[in-house]
Structure 1
Amino acid sequence: MSGPLWLTPDDRQDTLPVIPRPRPRWAAADDPMDELAERLRNLIEAAVHPDEIAAILESDGMTDDHIRLTYGRTNSFELAEDLYARVPRTYPEPDLKPGDPWHVSLLPCLLRGLVFALPGLAYVLGAPFATGAAPIAVLLAGALTGWAWNQALAHRAYTWLGLGDRPAAARALLVGAPLGVLLGTVVAFAAAGTGEGSAVAFASAQALYQAAATVLLVLGRERLLLAALTPMSAGAVLALAYDVPDAARLVLLAVSPLAVLALATAELLRGAAGTRRTGSSRGPGGPRILASVPYGVFGLATGVLVLYAALGDVLSDGVVSGAAAAPGAVALTLSMGPAEWLLHRFRSGTLAGLRTSTTPGEFRRATALTLTRCLGQYLLVLALLTALGTLVWPQAGGFDEVRALGLLLIGTLMWTGLLLQAFGAVLTAATVCGAAALAQTLAVLNGAAPAASLTAPGLAALLLAALVFALLGRATAHRG
């Protein structure tokens, strides 16, 4: 036998050469964790939570078995936590195109809000033809049906547009818009009583306008819609100062809706005959119809809440008083323009937070500050519009604190709901708003006092605001 095994080759001149052995992983010259951290350094530095790194690892094809064998960690989440702790948060500025992708001009948003409000001027022109107060059940049944249907229809058409298939979007509108008119007319007829045929006719015409306006708005033709509404709007403003003949009123009332209908029809026929853009990601069956249902529920719920907030105790009389409802209704419709702009400002603010925050806590605080600022600005605009409307319509009865508070609560509900909807949480928004609308309806039917009837929308507004803080305070909700 040769000498002791612990002797080195130089000490054991008469022994056989030492057999080379593989070095254990812990003795490797290069730690695979260091190599992985260096390879993904830019991405790890930019992450504000380990889950973002785990998502990167999984998208890179790393399985749990590979991670255990190569890096000695259980899974991608444990590996991500180690990488997150190993690499400091220097957060290098990403290579973005100049400018803010969420920046939009305020003017187009204000234009859309104006377009939403102008149809209300038809009531000014049509006031002399009202022989009595129109039954509220007929008018509201038709309006709410159209509101809900067109919300769902617009979502389906927007989905087709997002897939790059404008002809399919036009075809969806071409089929859905007439169905919405028919449904609104049937619902209004079902809610009508004896001798209320004129109210049904008005509700049917209203449904026709809603469908045509939805087509133009979805297809990005707001300016055409505004131009079509100009004759009626100008006539209504003129009627506030001068005695416009009845014949002229009838012409103005007919011209604008017919122009909207003609423009919408032309857009649909031209769009449906177009060619789908190449490279779109159209699925085998296209977007699912059921995916649009929550948008319709959200539209119906917010419509009910808006009407309660705008009309207040007018509902208990069974008739619609345009003077009483005007300030709240106009304020809410006009505020939709600034609301849309502030939704974009929130997205822009969270993008800035992603660039500057180095920890999840910092990002949550930045998001909370942005949300508070945007929501506060929207409520301030809504309050100013309400106050201005009260001054313009003194016959509405002056300032009503309860109704003003109700409008602010509904404004909070609508804005936070739209924000959740923009981030794909429409089912959450629809559920909360739907429950609030149902509770509000039950409160009114049971004869609750106006102040007590604010309980449901108040709780729903607080819940939606809390959900926005919780869901959108995570960095992963803003990636992509």
Structure 2
Amino acid sequence: MSGSLWLKPPGTENPLPAIPRPRREGTVTPAVPGTPSPAGDGLAADPLDALVERLDPFVAVAVHPDEIAALLESDGMTDDHIRLTYGRDDSFALAEDLYARVERRHPAPEAPRGGPWHTGLAGCLLRGLVFALPGLAYVLAAPFLAAEQGRFGLPGGTVPLLGGAVTGWVWNQTLSHRAYTWLGLGDRPAAARALLTGAPAGALAGTAVAFATAAPGETPAALFAAGQSLYLAAATVLLVLGRERALLCALLPLAGAVPAFRWDLPDLLRAALLLTSLTAGVAFAALVLRPGVRRGAAGRGGPPRAASLPYGLFGLGSGLLVLHAGVGDTLVSGAGAVIALTLSMGPAEWLLHRFRGESLTRLRTLTTAREFRRAVTGTLVLCLGGYLTVLFALTVAATLAWPGAPWPTPARLITLLLLGTVLWLGLLLQAFGAVLSAAAVCLLAAAAQTADPAAGPVAAGGAAAVLALLTCVLLVRPTTHRL
């Protein structure tokens, strides 16, 4: 899994529309409710009628009065102004009155549907593939990573590998969010500049952690972890800038690991395949970063760096949960779970986009908040159910394809599906800006599993329940989708 699983936002934002103002000549004394307006000023006797006329296009498509209240507040209407001008207590009372006066007129959905939240399935499947292919590097490097003595009940060389990987996930998830934010602002050179400075720093951080945690005899594993950190940095650059095909080409040499499942390959060939793939990935990343080299590419201050930190924490929590899923009764069963989870990230991303697109369509076509809640809840259940079905199918396929792999026990299968629920709902909340809540839940679940590995099913089930509750509370509100 690379560090850039963060769901890309649409390239353009949809802010609240400005309240249109009538153009009139001269200075007009504000009208007071219940008093006639001066002759010839062109205003209605009741100021509320004029407001209804001006806001009619927006109010007609609102599915809840809260949307109208948000528009009024964004325009600077205070409660004192509303009481003086319109005779209502506050913006919510005025919004309810406007909502009741205007008939719902939702435009029909466009056909065929399109837009930034309707992405192609092929592109998402490609991303899932490039998330999973790096796992073949461990198959090629297995003879080099073996150490005489392990620690913490893990095989030798595992600690520096995990230290470098987790550091890379946290750093690159944070970096991805910052670069995507620049892309959302329409400044691709600035995004490239952020990646140009951040990706090498992440590679150095992962390398430093790997060597710092390596024990005597684990130097080969630390060297592999350094290459892994360099790959994660290059992969982050290519995925954020939309160069998945280039990354796939760089990973193709790793397909040479397939014969290694049955036959012993020469060490020289194993090393050559690993170095070829790593070199190609770094070279492709360097090529796409050329816009960031231009002077002044990121001259503006840009978004605050602290805003990207919760995304790094979510990367830490989700990464640790995936690592726990890889600790199975046997190495093979654990590897099969990780393969299924990483491959499922492609369909997961497509279903996230599908949910977002469907919810926006329902926002345009439904007339009441109750209908919207029911429709969004149904879409959420279908998308989550679809993802879990894909995850189950991939688990079965990985078990059948891996020579000698045992079938997962019902308890491990249920835990894997619960973990898939946690990851998908966490990514969904992250896409709607509730990343801090998702990160906190994932980190607590990962901490519980670290403290007591036997608590995996309970931790995953509790995290899934909490995230499901947070999702239902947040996403049934129409304002969440419109804003």
Instruction: Tell me, yes or no, whether TM beats 0.5.
Output: yes
Q: 2:380 aligns with which of 365, 371, 378?
A: 371
Change (3 A) 1:262 1:134: farther
- Contact residue 306 and residue 407 of structure 1 kept, 8 A: no
Displacement of 1:441 in angstroms is 1.0
Equivalent position amino acid for 1:176 in 2: G
SS class of match (1:194): coil
Displacement of 1:37 in angstroms is 2.4
Q: Residue 268 of structure 2 aligns with which residue?
A: 247
For 1:145-164, what aligned pairs fall within 5 Å after superposition?
145-164=167-186
SS class of match (2:452): helix
Displacement of 1:66 in angstroms is 3.2
Q: Residue 458 of structure 1 aligns with which residue?
A: 461
Change (3 A) 1:203 1:36: same
Q: CA RMSD in A?
A: 2.5
Question: Is the aligned partner of 1:361 residue 2:364?
Answer: no
SS class of match (2:183): helix
Q: Residue 186 of structure 1 aligns with which residue?
A: 208
Q: Residue 476 of structure 1 aligns with which residue?
A: 479
Q: Residue 49 of structure 2 aligns with which residue?
A: 34
For 1:195-274, what aligned pairs fall within 5 Å after superposition?
195-233=217-255, 235-240=256-261, 244-273=265-294
Question: Is the aligned partner of 1:402 residue 2:402?
Answer: no
Question: Is the aligned partner of 1:100 residue 2:114?
Answer: yes
Displacement of 1:91 in angstroms is 2.8
For 1:31-430, what aligned pairs fall within 5 Å after superposition?
31-88=46-103, 90-93=104-107, 99-101=113-115, 102-132=117-147, 133-233=155-255, 235-240=256-261, 244-273=265-294, 285-313=301-329, 321=331, 323-430=332-439
- TM-score norm. by structure 2 comes to 0.85
Change (3 A) 1:219 1:62: same
Equivalent position amino acid for 2:98 in 1: L
Displacement of 1:229 in angstroms is 1.1
Change (3 A) 1:191 1:128: closer
Equivalent position amino acid for 2:351 in 1: L
- Contact residue 384 and residue 421 of structure 2 kept, 8 A: yes
Equivalent position amino acid for 1:338 in 2: P
Change (3 A) 1:275 1:290: closer
Equivalent position amino acid for 2:69 in 1: A
- TM-score norm. by structure 1 comes to 0.85
Q: Residue 7 of structure 2 aligns with which residue?
A: none
Q: Distance in 2 between matches of 1:228 and 1:430?
A: 31
Displacement of 1:270 in angstroms is 4.0
**Alignment deviations for residues 449-480 of structure 1 (CA, whole Å, 9 cap, x no partner):** 3xx43111211111101111110110000114
Equivalent position amino acid for 1:266 in 2: L
Q: Residue 11 of structure 1 aligns with which residue?
A: none
- Contact residue 170 and residue 271 of structure 1 kept, 8 A: yes
- Contact residue 111 and residue 337 of structure 1 kept, 8 A: yes
- Contact residue 207 and residue 229 of structure 2 kept, 8 A: yes
Displacement of 1:241 in angstroms is 5.9
Give the percent of matched residue pairs that are identical in Structure 1 and Structure 2. 59
Q: Distance in 1 between matches of 2:403 and 2:198?
A: 40
Displacement of 1:359 in angstroms is 1.4
Q: Distance in 2 between matches of 1:79 and 1:26?
A: 19
SS class of match (1:227): helix
Q: Distance in 2 between matches of 1:416 and 1:95?
A: 27
Displacement of 1:345 in angstroms is 0.4
Equivalent position amino acid for 1:307 in 2: L
Change (3 A) 1:75 1:476: same
Larger mean CA deviation between 34-43 and 338-347 belongs to: 34-43
Displacement of 1:228 in angstroms is 1.2
Q: Distance in 2 between matches of 1:302 and 1:24?
A: 57
- Contact residue 32 and residue 84 of structure 2 kept, 8 A: no
Report the count of equivalent residues.
439
SS class of match (2:446): helix
Q: Which has the larger radius of gyration?
A: 1
Change (3 A) 1:61 1:287: closer
SS class of match (1:25): coil
Equivalent position amino acid for 1:65 in 2: D
Displacement of 1:62 in angstroms is 3.4
For 1:9-24, what aligned pairs fall within 5 Å after superposition?
none
Change (3 A) 1:222 1:143: same
- Contact residue 324 and residue 395 of structure 1 kept, 8 A: no
Q: Residue 17 of structure 1 aligns with which residue?
A: none
Displacement of 1:168 in angstroms is 2.0
Q: Distance in 2 between matches of 1:353 and 1:23?
A: 39
- Contact residue 360 and residue 482 of structure 2 kept, 8 A: no
Displacement of 1:238 in angstroms is 4.0
- Structure 2: tracts of 5 or more residues without a match: 1-30, 38-43, 148-154
Q: Residue 4 of structure 1 aligns with which residue?
A: none
Equivalent position amino acid for 1:401 in 2: P
Q: Distance in 1 between matches of 2:114 and 2:319?
A: 33
Larger mean CA deviation between 176-185 and 222-231 belongs to: 176-185
Change (3 A) 1:292 1:265: same
Q: Residue 14 of structure 1 aligns with which residue?
A: none
Q: Distance in 1 between matches of 2:33 and 2:395?
A: 75
Change (3 A) 1:419 1:440: same
Q: Distance in 1 between matches of 2:113 and 2:69?
A: 30
Change (3 A) 1:253 1:283: closer
Q: Distance in 1 between matches of 2:156 and 2:225?
A: 10
SS class of match (1:424): coil
Equivalent position amino acid for 2:199 in 1: A
Change (3 A) 1:131 1:34: closer
- Contact residue 42 and residue 92 of structure 1 kept, 8 A: no
Q: Distance in 2 between matches of 1:396 and 1:241?
A: 13
Change (3 A) 1:187 1:246: closer
